[in-house]
Chain A
């Protein structure tokens, strides 16, 4: 209370001083009155009063000095003092604030991204209650899985929809593209298929019209949709929704029921839905297709663990009931052993989280280390400044200033700098974070992420600033006030370094800097080299000049048994276009991330293999040589013997040393893919399959014309080789459009698609490289500063030595020896740290180990060079010390 009043009174300082003046004036007047009453003349009375009273100004200052002793006023004074110091040395302050802003800004930016991707709750009602059901340990590759989030088949969903005691409500959802617009201006938008209770369980309320409700779940044709706010605004003009509002989706006019609020983006963080439509119950649900993600809201009183136990107990019955037909008994056994578990889902699901989590954490560690180096640098700077003020501090302490007061002043300077840095850093963080998100965008996929500075981010920035301040200001403050005033006064600005201990702290700090920079440089080199490895990796096939086209022809209404020849015709048509070198159809585009496989039996051996169904021209188009046997021909159809071309990994695993040609390969049955026996007719070398990072995959190729009729789909991926992809794309589009009206076409560049998969590695390489260089620069600054300070301290000592006959070379050598000792200590510590840190980052690397000797040696050499450059200037300056000058200064 009293403290509060004092703080308040500070703001009324001027008024209070007036009041004190008035009170004292009245006091004088009363004194004069009394004197006159005792018979003095007015003049005499006034003189007597003034004599007794003394100077009114001095008196007022004595009264208001009472406040100064109370502390707060002096705090302001200190603050003003600190500001004055900064204004006097703007260069120093600028360097400090800029360093801190960069350090804190980078940290906050990465944290902001982590926050957005992982921590922030979905914009729904009570997100903490939302739980996701998943198969514990995943479905182990059983059946067909839509994407990473889909763990439920339609029959599973129907079961769990009826039995969910722990949940007050439950819903299923999945993402799927929707085609909107008239036939001549079709485009794909992000669709969100939801069950009837989706919006009510989430607690999302419409801004226009109504949202999807259980009664909408009827037709398997899309007839009703709900638009997202951004879709409504950008594609529908934001017109009010009425009962007659329709748009064209999937070629038909559909009713728009309503619009979701702007904050609701769907369930996937980093993605944004455009249209939501109701699920349906298909007449023959496929038991092997995992298409839905299922979530529910926990009833009050239920914990996630209890819910997991409930669903675990439910699982045996559920999986026994929903087991699909057409599988071997072994596969069905696996299926029936699945167990469901409940997991928190309040933060939604995210590809980004799974893809970039460890990258972001590594980046946060990297930026943290950079901030640490910056702090060490600043601490050294402050220490050097504090030493410069040694004499001042000593005099003040000798005059009776308390240690606490001096400490406070130095800490306050630090706190002010840290606060300025943090403010600037927080402002920098947002654009940095956005830039980071944009750097992860690819040619086909844009990340939609709201980056906002919420309380977590602000808290983080504040914590970073506080920690920074503590690190870089406390030590110098303690050191400078620890000194004995007498010794400081005596040694003052003389040339003898009285206290070696003081200097050793600075050395320790430089050693720390070198060690941490070593870690950062090793990290940078590892990430850059691993990105280079990925870029220069030979996937075993042609990458440049290949266009990938996805062709869809459901509107042509080709009968399944005729699809094979229809596809051959398509490929032939494209190959006939002038300018096209070659073209081939395939069911799976290499290096696109998708996979397809079957279980095979060869003699007594059995196991999985990747299967791709391709045109005969596939190997020629991608430049994959045939090592043995013959290529497919147009005669390899379902009417002729079934044939297989396998890669070397397949041979190594299943065939062994005997001649592979003619070996029989049995393929186990799966829904739509009956049991079959193929004969190996050719061998190709190992090529990368779905991802550059993965090891050699066991692969087998089947002629696309031998795809089982039941598995024929009215779409095909086509690889088109040409010298000018842009022109080729136009020509293909033109030709096919003319010949097959209504055919859907989507093209992208094969090489670009591969590069798109490397954005994560690219980000790590760029950022870690940037921070590695920054760390090295900071080391230069720090080392240069410390050595310059060292020189300043020992200037006269060097002078004396030179006067006594020390050669310049010896002086320089002594200085360099000093730097080298720190360098060696730093490098040793840094190598040990880097080895430890590398273990954490090993999953992000490709083609090299975290203890890669070349990288370690390279970083050490780089740092050594940097150190020598940084220490050369002060060392040479030491050699130029004029003995006469420095001795005269004594």
Chain B
């Protein structure tokens, strides 16, 4: 198959591209930074040319903007329109576990993106993942810079980005599911225990304080809305395994 990976230079996208390439598929890496297939979801520029002749599209794009809807929601509309014109047979959207349950802005935008995909003209699958170890590791390292780990109380079930990428590749290879397919990590962990693991494996010294956070995000963390106790696929790499595998 010919598979276009939107956001194919990003953390997830480049792993999905490598995985599908290793399985013998033709890959097109679409990104604002790509050499060959330069596209911009904010405008739709480049999509028509990049998608001509593609069978499957994996949307692994993300936005770190304060207003991510322009890329994630409006960008998905532009992408689906170009896919329909190019005759793409399967759109794979990457989303987040709990995005439909947590009334916080980024999650609302992901839920809106899912709605655009599931109501769109192109046959679809949505892969919902929990937080990546890479994200949790970055946040704990940043929070621990002043030797005090001030952590929100709550539970997560993080998964290695590489494990999630394999699942996205599996879904891309299969036909459209017309449903959400979930991937989560091997363990549901208290955030403070993830911070303890980080301290132990990396050898950093920091006092650990765990505090409840008020508001919707605090409730989401405490209620387990960000976990998937019975995911379709469970990644095998634990947070400790992942920490041991990264340099530094």
Q: Say whether A associates with B.
A: no
